[in-house]
Amino acid sequence: MNGMVEKLSTLGPEMCLLIGGCICLVTGLDRLGAVRRATVWVAALSLVCAGFLTVDFEAHDHGVFRVGGMAPYIKLIVCGVGLILLMIAAGVPMQLRQTVQAENAKDFEPGDILRGEFFAFFLFSLTGVMLCASADDLVWLFLALELTSLPTYVMVATAREKTMAQESAVKYFFLGAMSAAVFLYGFALIYGATGFTSFDMIRQTAAMQIETHGAITPMLLIGMVLAVIGVCFKIAAVPMHFYAADVYEGASTPVTAFLAFTPKVAGFVALILLLGLVAWFPVDGEFVQLPPVLVALLWIIAVLTMSVGNVLGLLQKSVKRTLAYSSIAHSGYILMGVLVGPGLVGTHGAVGDGIAAVLFYLPAYGLATIASFAVIGCMRRNGEEADSFDDLSGLARRHPWLAWIMMLSVFSLLGIPPFVGFLGKVYLFGSAIQAQYIWLVVIAVVNSAVSAGYYLHILAACFFGDPDKDVQRYPAPGRRLGAGIAAFGCIALGFLGGWIVNATHDANIPGVDKSAAPITLDDSDDQVSATKP
């Protein structure tokens, strides 16, 4: 009982968002127009309060607040980026013909308006990401992942009045259900191999298996493989990437920006927690590394994901589909950090800590991607959302501010200094080099160069194309403000990156003991070994 009370005491931010989502459902259905219009402010206040509850004002060093663990860090990122996403998505319900007609009708019918449901699902999905970061049990993690995904299915289907949106939502839902079945089966095998759903007990059982037999049991290994493959759907990684381009194109652009960030963060947090069940802890004075099967699996998935994403990105005529394949490619880059692990291979500080690099790269990627989608969402062709390269043609002449935001975001995604994307790739690639994944880094660098083809295509359309009079700017000041803040973050985080990565390096990752000696490479046989001091 005391353990349950202690656990609930750490879930203040999640409870804040859940309560805020329930209030949004009520205010969005109110008969008073002023109350309905306040729904977005309720959502914003919920995110601010959740962020305030996340910060530990007592955990500081010389006046600088420190990250106490991976969970609080992820929660702060979710609240901060969530506010930017809310700015971009604030006007989505009012774009729907059904909502406009309900708002202007003499006899208001609450069932005809979608304002409250949209913002409630928005908050519920962000709550799922926070719960993933707080998970310490397989059942908890499964429910958190589903809470992250289920609201997005509805958001895709209802936020745009086109058949393409409903088609995308159906495809997204069924593929999501398949992925859930795969990783749930993996969870069942993990439970069968250990007899526990608690992370601590699974980790202890895995340690006993390694100590007794030299490796984890085949059932536990198969369960981990299935769990990793299932979670690949959340991060849009091969072989679960097929939905991304169609869903990103079919959804409303602000919802697409939401999809590009929220499920991806939840997926990578889940991967870190799952892999930490069978590796990255000491047994008999030696740090346990990932089993060779999982190393090979992650290596192959990373290579295929970044290669498929970048090659197919070159072939697209839709900007949203291009950025969808960009999102797939970036998942491949981030998987490199997951493969390296939490800095146990001769690391000195944050450089070489793969998990710290992942935690830094997630908001870096998120800000750049959100800014680019926000710019697209600010444009309309004959009343429809912009999507093609022709829709962005001549943007610099018509709306220079939006063109410069697009340039900043694209340069960050490409990895041009001094933007945060460059620093993020330095940490990811540097970690992989220290871990001796040289060929993986070579493939990643080549893929990063290939990505310049479609990124520069976007900029060429914006700065060198001829304007089209049928394309007009959509009057959405909140969306433009969110785009500007995200683009500014791409620059600011580039200068604050060292502090952030060191903070994430010092963060407490469940199951990882960084107090012991780091692993060093034995030059005689190129094998990784470690001993305690």
**Alpha-carbon distance values, 148 to 54, 240, 267, 493 (Å):** 19, 17, 10, 26
Phi, psi of 500 (to 5 degrees): -65, -45
DSSP 8-state secondary structure symbol assigned to residue 300: H
pLDDT tens-digit readout, 227-282: 999 999 999 998 888 899 999 998 889 999 999 999 999 999 999 999 999 988 87
Q: What is the mean pLDDT of the chain?
A: 85
pLDDT tens-digit readout, 381-406: 877 788 888 888 888 888 889 999 99
How high is the pLDDT of residue 78? 94
Beta strand 384-385 with 379-381: parallel, antiparallel or unpaired? antiparallel
381 with 462: CB under 8 angstroms? no
Residue that wins the pLDDT comparison between 154 and 346: 154
pLDDT tens-digit readout, 11-65: 889 999 999 999 999 998 888 878 888 999 999 999 999 998 887 655 554 443 4
Q: Is it the case that residue 159 has pLDDT exceeding 50?
A: yes
pTM: 0.91
DSSP 8-state secondary structure symbol assigned to residue 88: H
How far apart, in whole angstroms, are the C-alpha atoms of residue 402 and residue 372? Answer: 9
Question: Which residue reads 């291009």 in tokens?
Answer: 322
Nearest CA to 512 out of 273, 270, 197 is that of: 273
> What would the two tokens of residue 485 be?
């803040």
pLDDT tens-digit readout, 448-492: 999 999 999 999 999 988 887 777 777 788 889 999 999 999 988
pLDDT tens-digit readout, 325-346: 999 999 999 999 999 988 654 4
How many CB atoms neighbour CB 443 within 10 A? 18
How far apart, in whole angstroms, are the C-alpha atoms of residue 58 and residue 504? Answer: 18
Confidence of residue 158 (pLDDT cuts 50, 70, 90): confident
How far apart, in whole angstroms, are the C-alpha atoms of residue 519 and residue 505? Answer: 16
Q: Please name the residue ranges forming H helices in 435-476.
A: 438-464
What angle separates helix 354-377 from helix 253-275, to the nearest 10 degrees? 170
Q: Which amino acid is at 515?
A: S
Query: How big is the chain, counted in residues?
Result: 533
How high is the pLDDT of residue 341? 86
How high is the pLDDT of residue 533? 28
State mean pLDDT over 111-126: 87
337 with 290: CB under 8 angstroms? no
Give the 3-state secondary structure of residue 351: strand
Nearest CA to 144 out of 265, 6, 23 is that of: 265
